[in-house]
Amino acid sequence: MRVVLSGGGTGGHIYPALAIANQCGAEYPDSEFLYIGGERGLESSLVPKENIPFRAINITGFRRKLSLDNVKTVIRFMRGVRTSKRLLRDFKPDVVIGTGGYVCGPVVYAAAKLGIPCIIHEQNAVPGLTNRFLSKYVSTVAVSFEGSGASFPAAKKIIYTGNPRATTVFEADKNKGYVSLRLPQGSPIVLVVGGSRGAKAINEAMIDMAPSIGKLGHVSFIYVTGESYYENTKTAIAAKLGEMPGNLRILPYVHNMPEVLACTSLIVNRAGASFLAEITALGIPSILIPSPNVTNNHQEKNARSLEMSGASEVIVEPDLNGSSLFAAIERIMTDSSLHRSMSAAAKQLGKPESAHLVVEEMRRLVRNQGKR
């Protein structure tokens, strides 16, 4: 199978595409891939590391208010469509997959106009502008949240697959996670993550909460700050307490996140769609702090879907402080019945077979195309 992948801007769009490529390569070892992304997007550095051929187009997103820049964006879009058609004709894919971000707009649109079967995957409970636009042209829309297909009234076909990133994490080795953290097997771990770049509100809450961490001495707290908050956080906590709590470890970044997640007992995090797919695949109870600085407040909608199912507690930023965060952590980590019920609820939402479901739909489209 010859597959073109496109999606970019953030890891939330890129990692699902890479998970689909990994699954497709595992199921169909003769598969060949081409990834078309943005010149300046994160995908331009991440994709080549996976040994997937990468080609770039120049495209920018629309501003949500009237602006001369939007005229330039339309021009770049049309140029991107022309460039994408050339790349597609050269590569001759059997199917094209778009996982969101404005870069996949011209790629998937061009593929649809060339009559190539196309799938878009929407990670969030509230779809992005690009996927809403593309849903009218593609063969299939795959969604991560059950019921969110209603956001695509013009789609030809909608399938509920979950997020392909779940497959990657589900197969991770938790023993390697304990080893990397230098903790005994089976240790209870609370993992606090502010996202790849960190989050100011979570950082401030962690500094405020630091004096209480020793009360849960049997629990190891792992706080991943993001590079920009690392030194300041360590300095602030040390200044506040005189020394670092023995059960708190502060890290700037975790390179083996799937393995660390696999041994995590409770996670505190933002509510990005890919991360939620990972934690539900593993059945990890969560305390979610949605970012208020995202389009259509989609992170809170993502988080509320887990909360309604009993898998998570949600703390919105105006209510976040050291006391509210520690109270939620203490409640879950000291009530084994609550922890078990949240874990079970998370597993009910998890779709560890997600990447396979997308690949299965790809194969169906390719077979149907061959019958015409």
Q: Is 73 annotated as a binding residue?
A: no
Residue 189, helix vs strand vs coil? strand
How many CB atoms neighbour CB 84 within 10 A? Answer: 28
Q: Is 124 annotated as a binding residue?
A: yes
Q: Is 11 annotated as a binding residue?
A: yes
Taking each helix axis from N to C terminus, what angle separates 11-27 and 273-282, rounded to the nearest 10 degrees? 50
Amino acid code (one letter) for 60 = T
Tokens 């597993």 locate to 347
Instruction: Provide the terminal-to-terminal Cα distance of the chain, rounded to the nearest Å.
Output: 17
- CA–CA separation, 273 vs 296, rounded Å? 14
Q: Which helix (H) or strand (E) element contains residue 32?
A: strand 32-38
- In this structure, what token pair is assigned to residue 209? 């909460």
Secondary structure (DSSP) of 211-245 = GGGGGGTTSEEEEE--GGGHHHHHHHHHHHHSS--
Q: Is 185 annotated as a binding residue?
A: no
Q: Is 299 annotated as a binding residue?
A: yes
Q: Is 319 left (phi over 0), alpha (psi -120 to 50) or beta?
A: alpha
Q: Could you tell me which residues come within 8 angstroms of residue 142 by beta carbon, excluding any fewer than 6 positions away?
A: 119, 120, 121, 122, 158, 159, 160, 161, 357, 358, 361
How many CB atoms neighbour CB 219 within 10 A? Answer: 19
63 to 69, 71, 334: CA distances (angstroms)? 7, 10, 47
Q: Is 139 annotated as a binding residue?
A: no
Taking each helix axis from N to C terminus, what angle separates 298-308 and 273-282, rounded to the nearest 10 degrees? 20
Contact 123, 41 (CB under 8 A): no
Q: Could you tell me which residues come within 8 angstroms of residue 36 by beta carbon, excluding any fewer than 6 positions away?
A: 4, 5, 6, 54, 55, 56, 57, 84, 87, 103, 107
Tokens 């952590």 locate to 329
Tokens 């703390």 locate to 315
Bind-site residues: 10-12, 124, 196, 299
Bind-site residues for UDP-N-acetyl-alpha-D-glucosamine: 10-12, 124, 196, 299
